[in-house]
Structures are given as structure tokens and as C-alpha cells.
Copies of this chain bind each other. A is one copy, B any other.
Amino acid sequence: MSALTNAIEILRCFSSARPDLSFADVMALTGKPKSSTSRLLRSLRDCGLLEQDPHTRRYRPGLLTFELGRLHRAHDDLISMAERELREVCARTGHTGYIAVLDGYEQVVLRIVPGSNPLRVVNPPGQRTPALATSNGRAMLARLSDEDIRARVPATYPKLPRNSPQNFKQLMARMDEIRRTGVSEAADESIEGVGSQGFALKSGETGEMIGIAVSYSVQATTAAERANVRRELAAMAAKLRRMTGDPLEQDAARVKTGTR
């Protein structure tokens, strides 16, 4: 295990729920011996990835993590373009918008556009969720080949919320539906009472893919309102696909024939 892997393992122990950790916490969470933990924490601190509270001696993410986070913002043409469009849709509909990327079988929230409706934001940026259980997560998966999807789903199919696909067969049925209709819906999955619709956008230039979704309270919306969201999303998808040169058609053909 390289120094880098170790460093990342430790950094991943921190989260908004656990913003700072003691030596013992890190030892428990990583399961490494004392001496290794001591050395690793020291080197992370020395290089700026961690800071240590001089009083409590607890560790927290350091200045360098902030600087690294800034770097990522530099490469966000696709994301910021999508964010601009999403902002308009959210302003018109009052609902909350999400932009996320796929990482393995999880998705990571990159941006949030709070709506005017009083639905509290539940997935802050950085949040990881199984992609199988969200509308835009499934929309992203649907653009991969079947083998690729199979490779991403863990060997033992994970336990998901009631309305999410409960096994691989159900998942593939959803994939087919998304590929056919071009939209992905979710209701009462990751969060009770919350529904969403989403789609996946792929850059023709870089091939990078993001998932865009609009989320709302199921009880507080009418079917007509949800149909309106669907129309808004379809329009945004069409516009963004044109702007980014999304190779959707070729992709669909490739998936169908099984070519890589």
C-alpha cells in the first residue's frame, strides 16, 4: 500500500458528519497499528493535507485540501454550462436541481441549485449515493454498456430503498425504459416523499458524463406539475446536447449492438 493510498484512506475518514478526528479515531477507522498511524498523520500534517488543533490535538482537513478543491473548479466547462441551464429551469419551476457524476456504482453530487419551494436540500455537494437509487444516477448508468453496468454493481446486489430496483433484472428493465424514453424518474427512493426526474449528459469532446436532475416533494406536486418538469427537462436536455455535442445517437446504437 503506497503512501498515497494510505493518505487517501485517512482523508476519506473525514466527512461533514466527522469534521475532525483524534489519533484514536483514525486508528480505529483505518485499522492500522499505532506506529503507522502516527507516522502517516504526521506526514499528512507536514504536507498540509491535515491540520492539528494545538489544543485538542485533533486532526482536521488542512489548507491543502481547500486548495486542491479549488483546482477542480477550473475544469468545469461542461458542469458550469449545465449549471447555468439548470438554474433557469429551477427558477421557473421552483424545484431543486442537482448535478452529479458517476464514480463506480455511486454518484457524487457536484452542484446544487436550491429551488424556491420549501423542500430542504438533503444531498449537499460531495454527497455519495448509490447511483442505482436516483433518477440521474440511473440515467448515467443507462448510457453505459450492459457489461459495464454489470461490472459496476457489487457482486452481492446491494439493499436499496423500496422503490429502487431490487435486483439486477429489475435494474436492467429500468435501463431499457430509460434508453427507450430518454428520461429517468424516481419517487420515494433515497428519501421518503421525494421524487425526481433526471437525464445524463455527455460531452462530445471529452466524453465526460454528468447527471442532471430536478427534485421535488411527491405529495406537494400534481401530475400536471410533474409533466411540466418533464417538458422542461426534455427541453434543457435537447439544448445542452446540442451545445456539448452529446453523441447520444451513436451511443444508443452501440449499446444496442453490443459494440464497444
Contacts and interface: CB of A to CB of B under 8 A. Distances in A.
A71 B3 contact: no
A14 B110 contact: no
Contact of A66 (B44, B60, B69): B69
A61 B43 contact: no
A107 to B, nearest CB: 11
Interface stretch (A15-23, A148-156, A225-233, A249-257): A15-23
A160 to B, nearest CB: 23
A55 B204 CA distance: 10
Contacts of A7: 4, 7
Interface in A32-58: 43-44, 47-49, 51, 53-56
A53 B206 contact: yes
A191 interface: no
Interface string A155-190: 000000000000000000000000000000000000
A220 interface: no
A88 interface: no
A63 interface: yes
Contacts of A260: none
A94 interface: no
Contacts of A4: 3-4, 7, 43-44, 47, 49
A64 interface: yes
A61 to B, nearest CB: 4
Interface in A1-19: 2-5, 7-8, 11, 14-16, 19
B101 A63 contact: yes
A206 B52 CA distance: 9
B70 A205 contact: no
Given A3-B2, A4-B7, A71 B64 contact: no
Nearest to A52: B206
A126 B2 contact: no
Interface of A: 2-5, 7-8, 11, 14-16, 19-20, 43-44, 47-49, 51, 53-56, 60-75, 101, 103, 108, 110, 125-126, 205-208
24 contacts: A2-B3, A2-B43, A3-B3, A4-B43, A4-B49, A8-B48, A8-B49, A8-B64, A11-B71, A15-B74, A16-B73, A19-B75, A48-B103, A51-B208, A61-B72, A61-B74, A63-B101, A63-B108, A65-B72, A66-B126, A67-B126, A68-B69, A69-B70, A70-B126
